């Protein structure tokens, strides 16, 4: 279907084209392309070692591609001539091992990295904690919180600078299984309300099915299939893809 005039007027929030990364002559990301609209979630899904985290790190700007381009709202943040530093890309990060700072209370964690006058920062912290339902916990320390509560604070912290794009690398894998679905749904609701474009990395098909608007199925550094979750689930590109999805019910 051709794009509608309205859809083609604005560039995607995030657009990645032909991203390549080699380590010691070995190509671990071999030409990855994806685009994510505001308020949408794209899942990079694939087995361990297929290049998901490396792709995310290049988008974040903490690793440099050997080739390819990255654009945010149409403006290049990486190409042959441009390399915008990570802190200026308008990108938020949530990684599994991206723990809260133990010596700062909840408010201090959310305020960390914010700039501007104190009153403005306080207002942002209050608003973010309210969004994740953690206002009552502002003066608690991370060790006083449950895993799910820590996860909510981490989300508030990641969103406090109002990133246009959020990159999440297996952010839920440290959580108790009983909590996980609730936290996933809450996280998704908050991100959608913010209109953030999300790239979520996971090796769990069920997580991708639950959270993604679009799945990019990766194998050996390449995207082998890309589309809406149920299209991929119902029509996997090959036997390997079918086997990968066979646990999801
Ligand atoms: P995933 O996140 O899908 O598990 P990664 O992106 O972490 O995969 O890694 C992809 C491949 O690249 C793996 O084989 C990994 O060992 C390799 N790799 C990642 N980072 C480096 C690095 N800094 N130096 C050398 N090899 C690396
Ligand atoms: Mg990884």
Q: Write a three-state SS string for the chain.
A: CCCCHHHHHCCCCEEEEEEEEEECCEEEEEEEEEEECCCCEEEEECCCCCCHHHHHHHHHCCCCCCEEEEEECCEEEECCCCECCHHHCCEEEEECCCCCCCCCCHHHHHHCCCCCCHHHHHHHHHHHHHHCCCHHHCCCCHHHCCHHHHHHHHHHHHHCCCCCEEEEECCCCCCCHHHHHHHHHHHHHHHHHHCCEEEEEECCHHHHHHHCCEEEEEECCEEEEEECHHHHHHCCCCHHHHHHHCCCC
State which residues of the chain have pLDDT below 70.
1-8, 97-98, 249
How high is the pLDDT of residue 207? 93
Could you count the other beta carbons within 10 Å of the beta carbon of residue 32?
25
114: tokens are 């914010």
Q: Which residues line ligand 1 (CB under 6 A)?
A: 23, 28, 46, 48-54
How high is the pLDDT of residue 116? 92
Start-to-end CA span in the chain (Å):
30
Report the nearest atom of ligand 1 relative to the CA of 221.
10
Residue closest via CA to ligand 1's atom 20 equals 54
From residue 170, give the alpha-carbon distance in Å to each of 76, 153, 154: 27, 16, 13
Closest CA to 199 of 230, 169, 233: 169
Judged by its nearest atom, the ligand closest to the C-alpha of residue 46 is: 1
How high is the pLDDT of residue 3? 59
Q: Which pTM does this prediction carry?
A: 0.92
Report the nearest atom of ligand 1 relative to the CA of 46.
3
> Are the C-beta atoms of 70 and 16 separated by less than 8 Å?
yes
Judged by its nearest atom, the ligand closest to the C-alpha of residue 24 is: 1
| Cα of 56 from ligand 1 centre, angstroms | 11
Tell me the β-bridge partners of 23: 26
Contacts of 57 (CB under 8 A, 6+ apart): 63
Closest CA to 68 of 29, 34, 18: 18
Give the mutation target among 26, 52, 54, 59 for probing the ligand 1 site: most ligand atoms within 8 A of CB. 54
């Amino acid at each position: 279907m051709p794009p509608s005039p309205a859809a083609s007027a604005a560039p995607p929030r995030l657009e990645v084209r032909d991203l390549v990364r080699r380590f010691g002559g070995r190509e671990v990301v071999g030409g990855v392309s994806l685009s994510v609209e505001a308020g949408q979630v794209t899942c990079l899904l694939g087995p361990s070692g297929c290049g998901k985290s490396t792709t995310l790190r290049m988008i974040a700007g903490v690793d440099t591609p050997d080739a390819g381009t990255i654009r945010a709202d149409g403006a290049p943040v990486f190409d042959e001539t441009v390399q915008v530093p990570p802190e200026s890309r308008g990108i938020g990060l949530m990684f599994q091992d991206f723990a809260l700072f133990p010596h700062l209370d909840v408010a201090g964690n959310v305020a960390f990295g914010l700039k501007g006058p104190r009153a403005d920062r306080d207002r942002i912290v209050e608003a973010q904690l309210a969004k994740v339902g953690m206002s009552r916990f502002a003066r608690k320390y991370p060790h006083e919180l449950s895993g799910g509560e820590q996860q909510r604070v981490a989300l508030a912290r990641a969103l406090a600078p109002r990133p246009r794009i959020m990159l999440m690398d297996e952010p839920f894998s440290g959580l108790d299984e009983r909590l996980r679905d609730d936290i996933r749904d809450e996280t998704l609701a908050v991100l959608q309300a913010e209109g953030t474009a999300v790239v979520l990395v996971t090796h769990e098909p069920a997580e991708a099915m639950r959270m993604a608007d679009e799945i990019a199925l990766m194998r050996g550094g390449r995207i082998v299939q890309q589309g809406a979750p149920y299209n991929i689930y119902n029509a996997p590109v090959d036997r390997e893809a079918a086997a990968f999805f066979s646990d999801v019910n």
